[in-house]
Amino acid sequence: MYKKYGQIAEMVHFLIKGSYEGKDNLNFLDLTCGNGFDTLFLSNLAGAKGKVTALDIQVAAVERTIKLLKENSEFNNYTIIKDSHEFVEKYITEKIDAAVYNLGYLPKSNKEIITKPESTISSINSLLPYLKDSGRIYITSYITHDKGYEINKLSDYLTGLNKKEYNVILIDVLNKDNTPPKLFIIEKNNNTLMTQPYPL
């Protein structure tokens, strides 16, 4: 199916699929499972030999995600947990391939319950030591839920990450006036992978 680069949610799935499709023993995290669409995508991509752990602080999100996966996932490879992503380290037992954040509020729910930069940054910081050399963290961040407070704090934090250890990529849609989300990607800066000559 043709994917629109300007649709950030589609872009995240496109990038993750391109990086990890066909690999065994994948370990994915969904840190804001929401309505479950990212969790479902990760579950089907991980396959029978992989696993997905998804967290959300809201009961409604957990219930929606469980229902969606029971009805649509091809595999029983997922664990859905009601907890804040701030405490994700309690549920990590091994290195991870990819983690996904979709910040803001739960669609079709209480818009006053939103992600906060303090807990989001704490969560990301705790994940960094668990990234595989090919691991990445994908963070979709919005402006409207708190007038840009979280995204600005997040940008400051990511800009300050050690450049010798990590690459931080920003994908933004520039020509829209409806405040589209921004996508941040953190990846390990594995210098051994960068010493190979680029093929001509």
> Per-domain residue ranges for the chain?
8-194
> What share of the chain in percent tops pLDDT 90?
74
Can you identify the CATH homologous superfamily of domain 8-194?
A: Vaccinia Virus protein VP39 (3.40.50.150)
Distance, first Cα to last Cα, the chain: 31
What is the reported pLDDT for 148?
82
What is the reported pLDDT for 197?
45
Residues 12-56: pLDDT tens digits? 999 999 999 999 999 999 999 999 999 999 999 999 999 999 999
> 32: which DSSP letter?
-
Q: How confident is the model at residue 191 (pLDDT cuts 50, 70, 90)?
A: low
pTM exceeds 0.85: yes
Contacts of 72 (CB under 8 A, 6+ apart): 40
> What share of the chain in percent tops pLDDT 70?
92
Mean pLDDT of the chain: 90
∠ CA 125-92-76 to the nearest 5 degrees? 130
Q: How confident is the model at residue 192 (pLDDT cuts 50, 70, 90)?
A: very low
> 3: which DSSP letter?
-
Which letter, b or e, does each residue of 11-22 get, where b requires 16 or more Cβ atoms within 10 Å of its Cβ? bbbebbeeebee
Kindly tell me if the per-residue pLDDT of 198 is higher than 90: no
Residues 82-115: pLDDT tens digits? 999 999 999 999 999 999 999 988 887 777 788 9
